[in-house]
Chain A
Amino acid sequence: MRSLRGLLPVMILALCHAAWAQSPTYGLGRTPSAEEIRAWDIAISPTGKELPPGSGTAKEGAQLYTQKCAACHGTTGSGGPAPMLIKPQSASTSSGPCVAPCIREGNVMALHSPYATTIWDYINRGMPLSQEGTLKPNEVYALTAFLLYKNGVIQEDDVLDAQSLPQVKMPNRDGYALPEWKPGMPRPFSAKP
C-alpha cells in the first residue's frame, strides 16, 4: 500500500503526459460507432482482415455470373463490351477500342492481380453496373471463386471465405513494385540539358 501510494503521483504524471502528447488540438468531429465504421470499411487488405463472414464456390458463382455479369462481360467471360474476365483458350481477335480500364488477355484480373482480395474488393464495390453495392458477401465470394476457377487458379469445389481467400496462390503474386517516396525526391530518370 505504501509503495502504491508512493507510485501514484508518478503514475498520474505519466498518464497526463500520454494524454497531453496525443490530445486533439481542435476537438472537432464525432466518434463514429463500431457499426458505422464497419458499414464503410470496404477496402480489403491483402491480409483479408476487412472481409465479412460468408463463403462461396465456383459452382454457385457460375449461376450468378449468368444472371448478373454475362450481359456486359460476355457469356464466356470475353468478347463482351465490358472488360475481359476469363482468358479465352484460343487467341482473341478483339482489336477495337478497349473500354477503360482496358483489360485484355495480358491483364485479366484473376491472372494479373497479385491478390485475390483485390478481385473481391472490386466486385463488391463496383459491380454490377447501376446496382453497385447490392451483392451479398456470399455472392461476392462465389463470383470471385468462379473467376479464379475459370482462369485455372483454383479448383471448382474450393470454398472461398474470409480465411481461404487471402491464401489463394495468385500467379502474379510478385508482379508489382512499390517504390519508396519521400518529400523532395526526384524521379529515377531525368534528361541532361
Chain B
Amino acid sequence: MASKKASRRGFLKAGAAAAAMSAMQSAGAQAAVPQAQPQKSLKELVGYGERSHFVTSVRVPVVERPSPDQFGLIFHVLTPLQDQVGSITPSSLHFVGTHRGSIVPDFDPKDYRLMIHGMVDRPLEFTMDELKRFPSVSRVHFIECLGNHSRPEYTTVQQTHGLTSSSEWTGVPLSVLLKEVGVQKGAAWVVSEGSEEVKGAGSFRLAKAMDDCLVAYGQNGEPLRPQQGFPLRLLVPGFEGIYNTKWLRRIKVVDRYYMTYNDYGHIQKDEEIAALTFQWGPKSVITFPSGGQQLPGPGIYQLTGLAWSGGGAVRKVEVSTDGGQTWKEAEIRGAVHPKAHTRFGMNWKWDGQECVLQSRCIDELGQVQPTRAQLAQHFKVTPDYYKTHGVQGSDNMIQPWRVASDGSVHNAIA
C-alpha cells in the first residue's frame, strides 16, 4: 500500500515537472533548464573511459636498471601482477622490454607497409587495409622477456615475475601470408624486422613461422598500443620475448640462420642451454599472497596465481603450503588457452603460523616446473650457484613465498 502511494506521488511529481518543462519551452529559448554539471571531461565520459581514481596499480622499472637509462634508452618496466585479476593484462599495464623503449615510434597506419620477400615465389608488400582483408584470428598468448628472473633481493611478484603479460592478440596467421607469397624449396628460417630507428631484427625457424605465429594488429579489442608495436607486430607464441618483433615491417624467408641485431645478444654455445632459452618452460607464480603483501590475521583467503607454458596449455597447477613437502591440485579459474596466462586458485585457511607457499605448473606436454634445487642438481651445481650466476636457459623455477606469523609475506628464494 505504501509503495503504491509512493509511486502515485512520483507519477504526480513527474507530471508536474513535465508540465513545467513544456511551459518553459513554450516561454522561449532563454528559460533555465536545470542541468547536472559533468564531473569529468567529456573526452573521458563520452570518448575513452578511465579507471577509477581509487585504482592506482602501476608499472614500475626493473630493479637494477634505470628506465630510461643515461642515454634515455633502456626501458624495462614491470607488470603489477599482484594487482591483476583474471588472466588478461590490461594493455596499459603490459610490460615493456626494449633497448630503445623511451623512444616510442609514431607510425601513421595509412602509410604503413609489411614486406615479405626472400625465398618466395612472389615478394609482396601489404598495407594495413590489405592485411585486414585476410582472415583474422584472435588468440590469447603471453609474452615473457628472457630477463624475467627471480632473485633473493627482489621483494614483490612484480619484481620477480613482472616481465610477463598476457593479451588477446588479433591478426593474420603468418602461415597464411607465407602461403600467399609461396615459400620456395630450401627455405628453413625467417628473419623478422621492425621499422623503429634501429630496425630490430631476429631469426627463427620456418617450422615455427608456419605453426602458430601471428602478424598482429589488435590487442585486447583495440589496435596495438604504441609501446607494443603499433600498428603491427609479430607474435611468436611461447618463445622468449625478443622474437615478438614490434613495429614489424619486413619478413624475409631465408635458407639459414642469420644472426642479426636481436640474435647476437642471445647466442648460447651449449645446445641444451640454447634449447632451454628460446622456448619458455612450464611456469607459475602465486600472486596472492605474494611478497610485500600483508595478511590481516588468521582465517580464510583465496590463494591465487598465474600459470603458463611456452610448450602449450596448462594441464594442472599444484600448490604447496608447507614448503614443498605436500602438494594439492589447485582449481583452474578461467579459460585455458595454449601459451597463455591461466588463472588458478584455491581456498586457503591460514592458521597464523609461519609457512612457505609455492605453486608448480604441469603443461600439456607433461613438462613439470622445477625447483631451484632440481635445476641445480640437473646441471651438477650447488643451489648457491644461482646467488652469483644466472639460470641456465630461461628462469621458470618455482617461486616460494614465506608468510611470517605476523602476516607479512616475503620472497623465500634463498
What residues of chain A have their CB less than 8 Å away from a CB belonging to chain B?
22, 24-26, 28-32, 36-37, 40-47, 72, 81-82, 97, 99-101, 109, 113-115, 117-118, 121-122, 125-126, 129-130, 132-133, 175-179, 181-193
Q: Please tell me if the beta carbons of A43 and B267 are within 8 angstroms of each other in the complex.
A: no
Partner of A187, one of B126, B269, B311: B311
With A99-B69, A132-B197 as contacts: A24 and B180 at CB distance below 8 Å? yes
Q: Please tell me if the beta carbons of A28 and B74 are within 8 angstroms of each other in the complex.
A: no
C-alpha spacing A125/B99, complex, angstroms: 14
Partner of B125, one of A29, A97, A118: A29
Q: Please tell me if the beta carbons of B125 and A32 are within 8 angstroms of each other in the complex.
A: yes
Q: Please tell me if the beta carbons of A190 and B258 are within 8 angstroms of each other in the complex.
A: no
Partner of A133, one of B76, B197, B254, B269: B197
With A99-B69, A181-B279, A187-B281 as contacts: A46 and B199 at CB distance below 8 Å? no
Chain A residues closer than 8 Å to B273, beta-carbon distance: 177
Partner of A179, one of B99, B265, B275: B275
Chain A residues closer than 8 Å to B102, beta-carbon distance: none
- A192 CB, nearest partner CB in chain B, Å: 7
Chain B residues closer than 8 Å to A121, beta-carbon distance: 260-261
Chain A residues closer than 8 Å to B272, beta-carbon distance: 179, 188-189
Determine if B121 is an interface residue (Cβ-Cβ < 8 Å): yes
Minimum-distance CB pairs A-B, first 8: A191-B370, A29-B124, A179-B275, A177-B271, A176-B267, A101-B265, A126-B198, A177-B274
Chain A residues closer than 8 Å to B162, beta-carbon distance: none
Partner of A181, one of B207, B252, B254: B207
Chain A residues closer than 8 Å to B70, beta-carbon distance: 81, 99
Residues of chain B from 109 to 148 with CB closer than 8 A to chain A in the complex: 115, 117, 121-126, 130, 133-134
C-alpha spacing A97/B117, complex, angstroms: 40
C-alpha spacing A133/B368, complex, angstroms: 45
Q: Mark B262-299, 1 if CB is under 8 A from A, else 0.
A: 01110111111111101101100000000000000000
C-alpha spacing A114/B256, complex, angstroms: 14
Q: Please tell me if the beta carbons of B257 and A178 are within 8 angstroms of each other in the complex.
A: yes
29 cross-chain CB contacts under 8 A: A24-B180, A29-B180, A37-B115, A40-B115, A40-B193, A40-B249, A43-B252, A44-B258, A81-B70, A100-B76, A100-B265, A101-B99, A113-B259, A113-B264, A114-B259, A118-B260, A118-B263, A122-B261, A125-B201, A177-B268, A181-B205, A181-B208, A181-B279, A187-B276, A190-B366, A190-B367, A190-B370, A191-B371, A191-B375
Q: Please tell me if the beta carbons of A187 and B367 are within 8 angstroms of each other in the complex.
A: yes
Partner of A189, one of B124, B259, B276: B276
C-alpha spacing A37/B65, complex, angstroms: 38
Say what secondary structure dominates the interface of chain A.
loop
Determine if B182 is an interface residue (Cβ-Cβ < 8 Å): yes
Partner of A82, one of B71, B268, B275: B71
With A44-B260, A125-B261 as contacts: A186 and B368 at CB distance below 8 Å? no
Determine if B374 is an interface residue (Cβ-Cβ < 8 Å): yes
Residue of A nearest to B367 (CB): A190
Determine if B365 is an interface residue (Cβ-Cβ < 8 Å): yes
C-alpha spacing A189/B193, complex, angstroms: 31
Q: Please tell me if the beta carbons of B259 and A46 are within 8 angstroms of each other in the complex.
A: yes
Q: Please tell me if the beta carbons of A28 and B208 are within 8 angstroms of each other in the complex.
A: no
Residue of A nearest to B364 (CB): A184
Determine if B191 is an interface residue (Cβ-Cβ < 8 Å): yes
Q: Please tell me if the beta carbons of B180 and A25 are within 8 angstroms of each other in the complex.
A: yes
With A43-B201, A114-B267 as contacts: A32 and B180 at CB distance below 8 Å? no
Chain B residues closer than 8 Å to A181, beta-carbon distance: 205, 207-208, 278-279
Q: Please tell me if the beta carbons of A186 and B180 are within 8 angstroms of each other in the complex.
A: no
Q: Please tell me if the beta carbons of B258 and A125 are within 8 angstroms of each other in the complex.
A: no
Chain B residues closer than 8 Å to A41, beta-carbon distance: 117, 252
